[in-house]
Structure 1
Amino acid sequence: MEPLTIIFVSCLALGVVVGLLAGMLGIGGGLIIVPVLSYLLIHFAGMTVETVMPVAIATSLSTIIFTGMSSAFAHYRLGNIHKPTVLYTGFGIAIGAILGAQIASHISGALLKDIFAVLVIIIAAQMIFGKQKTSDSEASPWVLSCVGSGTGLISALMGVGGGALLVPALVWFRINIRLAIGCAAFSGLLIAVFGTASFVAAGWQQAGMPQWSLGYVYLPATAGIVTTSIFTAGIGAKLGQRVNTRVLKAMLACLLVLVSIKMFVGIN
């Protein structure tokens, strides 16, 4: 079987898993996509750790464009989009996502791998031990923009939608949880669009990219993941109503820790 075919078929399977997890737990797929795609590209496309990380992250962000549009529209219909919050947060997110993609494109692949692994462990710890608290004051437009900038930068560095970072931050500033989730859904789309565009520009005519790449975005992987994840996300949402999501989150967090350790040791 040709390496391109192996990668595409593997990404179809990866999309199934990503969609189910997104539907059940409301998490972005980047936490799973980046390490798995890195492994596939190293073993079947001949890439190195130095070049594979920005490609895996950029490709992960590109898949969120499609899932993010559906999620944002659904929350808009439900009335969960608070325009002032989305406006100020979105402005910061756009700037942060562009900067994050540029930083990821210009630092060493080994350092980017370690940064990703550390941030994944932090998110996993939050999933297991985190408790939702609130501040005594509401966020100003300036604070919302700063929160958005930080979320956009970190999310673009990791190739994730940012919901795991943005929702707790907004709830901390006494924003209704439903509005916070709706804002995170719309913001994930912004992160994906601006982050992907920045990665495409940074990787344009970059040496060492596999065939069928658009900048740092590897199109066959994007197509494979999106093809299945858009269907399984709905299935995951229904399953999430029937299973104990707290146990699932704990299991996923443990898996993420193992993935992070593997990335520290080496993904090649």
Structure 2
Amino acid sequence: MTFDDLWLFLPLLLATGGFSGVISGLLGIGGGIFLVPVFLFVFTRFGVSDAVVMQLCVGTSTATVVATSLRSVLSHHKRGAVDVAALRLFAPWLSVGAVGGVIAATSMRSDTLMAVFGTIALVMGFYILAGNPRWRVAETLPRRRVAAPLGGFIGFVCAMMGIGGGTFGVPTLTAFGRSVHVAIATAAGFGLLVSLPAALAYLVRTPSAPVPPLTAGFVSLPAFAVTVIATFLTVPIGVRLAHVLPAQTLRRVFAAFIILAALNMLRKAFG
């Protein structure tokens, strides 16, 4: 993919980036769960090898999540909604898990990675949709011996799937007594803690098959640049909506997007 080629898909990438920014601010999920299927559509149209296409999607998505999560968490922090104590507790384990997730993703076949992405996302979507929003494990944050494996798991799976921290961070934080609005704001920070080390790891990994021009490791620089520009403009819109919409509405919107993205990915994996 060159900058000349990118003009063909520029409207789609701009629209995707803009929508991803709204979703990131609204739901704290970094937008990756929406970006990966769109990137898969774009990269397959440019003839990227099946051996590396899904890894290229995940790596590029992860790089964009760095930008969207940073913008989102700063916007939420200005409103006083971010639980800094939770970020400090989970930070090291999220980052360590993220590096492991990159190693796992770049070692899989693309169709296997698609199936993993779709299956995990589908389970999480139905859990969020059908689960009891009042269910709690505790009313306080977990101790380190619980936070360490839990944070490592979240970092691993999110980096492997190229998504932000909200998909697992929001249910986790609400289970430990945080309101859905605080959980969404804090999960944006989870996304940054996962995506930053993961993006660096994707940049230095060596693809096993040819990738498009202007690609560093598993990150397409043109797709990253266009998406981030659009995303930065729309994240504040999602943040404002997150502090206005009812909690139950947020859960339903969150779940619906995850389920739709999961079904589409499973269709591609087994179709």
Which interval holds the TM-score relative to the shorter structure? 0.7 to 0.9
Unaligned 5+ residue runs, structure 1? none
What corresponds to 1:154 in structure 2? Answer: 157
Change (3 A) 1:123 1:103: same
What corresponds to 2:75 in structure 1? Answer: 74
- Residues 158-173 of structure 1: pairs in structure 2 closer than 5 A: 158-173=161-176
TM-score (norm 1): 0.87
What corresponds to 1:58 in structure 2? Answer: 59
Task: Give a deviation string over 1:120-148, Cα, whole Å, max 9, x none.
Answer: 21122123212231124741022112221
Q: Distance in 2 between matches of 1:65 and 1:224?
A: 14
SS for the counterpart of 1:49 is: coil
Range that drifts further, 145-154 or 77-86? 77-86
What corresponds to 1:143 in structure 2? Answer: 146
- Residues 221-236 of structure 1: pairs in structure 2 closer than 5 A: 221-236=223-238
Unaligned 5+ residue runs, structure 2? none
- The residue type equivalent to 1:134 in the other structure is R
Q: CA deviation at 1:119?
A: 1.4
Range that drifts further, 137-146 or 241-250? 241-250
What corresponds to 1:126 in structure 2? Answer: 127
Contact 1:147 1:166 in 2 (8 A): no
Contact 1:128 1:253 in 2 (8 A): no
SS for the counterpart of 2:204 is: helix
Change (3 A) 1:239 1:135: closer
% identity of equivalent residues: 27
Contact 1:163 1:184 in 2 (8 A): yes
Task: Give a deviation string over 1:75-129, Cα, whole Å, max 9, x none.
Answer: 3334444444322300100100011011101111121111011112112212321
Contact 2:89 2:144 in 1 (8 A): yes
What corresponds to 1:39 in structure 2? Answer: 41
TM-score (norm 2): 0.86
What corresponds to 1:194 in structure 2? Answer: 197
**1:5 paired residue among 4, 7, 17:** 7
Change (3 A) 1:238 1:84: closer
Q: Distance in 1 between matches of 2:84 and 2:50?
A: 41
- The residue type equivalent to 1:210 in the other structure is P
